[in-house]
Structure 1
Amino acid sequence: MLPPLPDIVAPDLRVLFVGINPSVFSSKVGHHFASRGNPFWRLLHAAGLTPVLLRPDEDRRLLEFDLGITNGCERPSRTAAELSRAELLEGATLLRDKVERLRPRRVAIVGLTLVPVLLPRAGEPGPGAKRATFGGAPVFVLPNPSGLNQAYPGFQSKLVWFRRLRATMDGAPSRRAR
């Protein structure tokens, strides 16, 4: 059994990214979005969410930029389709408690799979800013950055949404002492 991937979190983050669950590869190497074909780190940088291009093994540096990352379900899998609804619901409860405790200024759900579980009454399919909150935090939904995501193929189709997330943060200075 693979170990869960540790959260990279702190109180009062500008954005807490919530992945669906770690990939088997990410769990093995101990870093978020570590699969070679996953452009998550390039998307963060290209959208202006990080001033430098981070490598997966630098994921802890997210905290320097007032960003954090966790998962909706801790169990690693090859695909999110392997997760049961019960696992996702249990993860949602734990995640809500985490968000309420940490109080990020925004939760960015990375992958539309989590939306019906985390926001069952949102009624707003697709990526973008949502009227609903999760654990008291405003929500922004991003497409899954995986290269396997056929609904949003290619880097540019995903980058649009990462840039829109960044635009919602303008004028929101970091609370971290530098």
Structure 2
Amino acid sequence: MDHSGDMQQAAAGLSDVLGPGLSVVFCGLNPALTAVRDGHNFSSPSNRFWRVLHLSGFTSRLLRADEERELLKYGCGITAAVSRATKSASELRLDDYKRATPLLEAKITKFAPANLAFLGKAAFAAISARADCDWGRQSEVFAGANTWVLPNPSGLNRAFGLDRLTAYYRDLKAEIQPRIG
């Protein structure tokens, strides 16, 4: 059940998929123009998010973007660090992340997920004021949630093939296994 209410990203025309006490919230950098057009997160056919979630064991079957609310049944949610949609996340600047941080912090505080997984390094680096970070679990806690940095599943991210991308998501899944069925 979606309890996001006033925390939805109405300005971008794309809703968060959030509920209380989730095991993990996947935090994209910002919505793609295609996602806003389609009204569903990670809806571009080139985006590997849904496939990677299934292959890494977060979902028992391959979900479609229009089934995004089904993620809540798996203890998972979706939000974005910045609500402004762009063709490419490279259009975002440090100031975009800084201005968006209070809203992200309010959402994470309200819904209290155990883990927050940033999809790509840019948002985490801006929010934590770290020039660089490694992939995987981070030492910082954000609004009470353990933080992770995972490679972005965007089709524009050619640095990670599907197998390598899935391996990072599988590492997160293995560490939080007791909380997700």
Shared fold, TM over 0.5: yes
1:161 maps to 168
Which structure 2 segments of 5+ residues have no match? 1-10
* CA distance in structure 2 between the aligned counterparts of 1:113 and 1:84, rounded to whole angstroms: 9
Query: Which of 81, 90, 93 pairs up with 1:81?
Result: 90
Structure 2 match to 1:22: 31
User: Is 2:97–2:126's contact at 8 Å kept on the other side of the alignment?
Assistant: yes
Distance apart, 1:173 and its partner CA:
4.6
Query: How many angstroms apart in 2 are the aligned matches of 1:84 and 1:94?
Result: 17
Gaps of 5+ in 1: none
State yes or no: 1:68 paired with 2:77.
yes
The corresponding residue for 2:50 is: 41
Counterpart check, 1:140 vs 2:128: no
| Aligned residues: CA RMSD | 1.6
Q: Deviations over 1:42-83 (max 9, x none)?
A: 000000001111001111111111111010000110011112
Return 77-86 or 24-33, whichever deviates more.
77-86
State how far apart, in whole Å, the 2-side matches of 1:117 and 1:31 are.
Answer: 26
Asked if structure 2 preserves the Cα contact closer than 8 Å seen for 1:44 and 1:50, the reply is yes
Bigger drift between 49-58 and 3-12 goes to 3-12
Q: Which residue of 1 aligns with 2:119?
A: 110
2:165 maps to a residue whose letter is K
Distance 2:15 2:123 in 1: 19
The answer (yes or no) to whether the contact 2:120–2:151 under 8 Å persists in 1 is yes
TM-score after normalising by structure 1:
0.90
Moved over 6 A (4+): none
Distance 1:53 1:13 in 2: 20
Counterparts of 2:175 and 2:128, CA distance in 1: 20
- Say which is worse superposed, 29-38 or 85-94, in terms of deviation: 85-94
**C-alpha distance in structure 2 between counterparts of 1:85 and 1:124, whole Å:** 14
Percent identity, aligned pairs only, is: 36
Secondary structure in 1 matching 2:26: strand
- Does structure 2 conserve the Cα–Cα contact (< 8 Å) formed by 1:124 and 1:130? no
**TM-score where L is the length of structure 2:** 0.89
Please state how far the C-alpha of 1:134 moved relative to its aligned partner. 0.7
